[in-house]
Amino acid sequence: MTKTILKDGLLIDPVSGKERVVSLTIEGECISAITEQSTPASNTNDVVLDLNGQWIIPGIVDLSCALQEPGYEQNETIATGLAAAAKGGITAVCASPETLPIVDNAAVVVQVQEKARTATGARLIPIGAATQGLKGDALASYGELKEHGCPAVTQGTGSIQSANMMRRALEYAKAFDIVVIHQALEHSMKGLCDEGPWSTRLGLPASPAQAELIAIERDVALAELTDSRLHLTRVSTALGVDAIRRAKAKGIKVTCDTTINHLHLTTAALSGYDSNYKVWPPLRSESDVQAVREGLADGTIDVITSDHRPVHLQDKALEFMQAQFGISGFESLLGLTLDLIESGALTRMQAIGALTAGPRRVLGQEANVLAPGQTADLTIIDPKASWILDEASMISKGTNTPFLGKVFMGRASRTIVAGQTVFSATSEKITI
């Protein structure tokens, strides 16, 4: 069998916490060998890639994204989304059920999976709707969703407003051993801007940090009551991080993520009313950003997500109040995470763990240990590669990102899924 040999790469394994220079051999879909000596080709068909110290990490898993198909193909298709993810070094994406029709039954899950099978790029992990039609008044069929490949359910960017319905969702999910992913933010306090000096100055509807705290406290209390797994998504405030830290200390089965946008951007970015900065939940204060970074560093926050939400130009190039929420994030996730390492906000192991082992733990999957016999889902990173995010080179149909023109240091040089290269920076080409 033809082998692919990744020669002299720095293997970084957040599960074992170890780093070492190795040669890693792939045969078929799996890793067949890892040695600390250079591995020569055994036949003329073998492919030897000299990494010269580039990083080998478990494949990145993005826990929060919107692929938009079916129903909103003008924003993104499954094919373009999975290809864009692969370019960003992502080997698997968890797709939100916010499509048309909603992913709340087996037929739609199958439709999405069939589309993904014909695409080249990252794997697609479907996430089911927590309630029928995402309306919040009746639960979806969790058993049916799990049977067809959904490891979790969610309301997407919405939330279950009824405490009793949320309790039932947690209990029902526990019965099928799936996790409830929930946006914890009090709906009656929803706004477009963090409450404070900037909301006053800009005249925008405000959402105070307490809106997140109130919802988190409710959901955590229900998770404790039901002894169920709860994952809180897009945590954005110091108050929210502190509440989750206390819940974890009590042994409640709660995990959480934050978006790469809330690790880099503050409310001050809204000063020009640029709709590319309009995200949900809204951007927060500098002190909130610092608290969220500290929550990642101490393990309170488990996962970094791209929260990839591509938006067609006609729906984004509007006045701030009318424009849709969302940033196209697949292609900048890794670069922005590497910036956190460079700045000292996170160690290399902390950052990589939040992109790889963290999401797998949330989904109840075994961590992707880099060892012989394991599926070869790998991200190869060139930490010295300088590049610019420009609209012309983006694969995603959505170019709604405030990071256009930014110079990054470090990128995915190769993305490998089940032993196959689905993106290589040397060619910058991928079949869509």
Domains and CATH numbers, the chain: 3-56+372-424 (2.30.40.10), 62-362 (3.20.20.140)
pTM here is: 0.95
Tell me: pLDDT of 431 over 50: no
Tell me: pLDDT of 46 over 90: no
- Percent of the chain clearing pLDDT 70 (strictly above): 98
DSSP annotation of 184? -
Helix H or strand E segment including 92: strand 90-95
- Band the pLDDT of 430: cuts 50, 70, 90: very low
Distances (CA, A) of 76 to 80, 86, 91, 206, 400: 6, 15, 18, 30, 12
- 326 in the Ramachandran plot: left (φ > 0), alpha (ψ -120 to 50) or beta? left
Question: 231-253: per-residue pLDDT in tens?
Answer: 999 999 999 999 999 999 999 99
Tell me, what's the pLDDT at 428?
A: 59
Whether the CB-CB separation of 29 and 419 falls below 8 Å is answered with yes
Question: 54-70: per-residue pLDDT in tens?
Answer: 999 999 999 999 999 99
Tell me: pLDDT of 169 over 80: yes
Tell me, what's the pLDDT at 365?
A: 85
> For 116-119, which contacts have Cβ atoms below 8 Å and span 24 or more sequence positions?
116/78, 116/82, 118/79, 119/78, 119/79, 119/82, 119/83, 119/432
- Band the pLDDT of 81: cuts 50, 70, 90: very high
Indicate which residue of 307, 339, 377, 382 is catalytic.
Answer: 307
DSSP annotation of 176? T
- Residues in CB range of 31: below 8 A, 6 or more apart: 24, 25, 370, 371, 372, 373, 374, 375, 376
- Whether 382 is catalytic is no
Locate 77 and state its tokens: 């298709």
Tell me, what's the pLDDT at 349?
A: 97
Task: Report which residue type is found at 201.
Answer: R
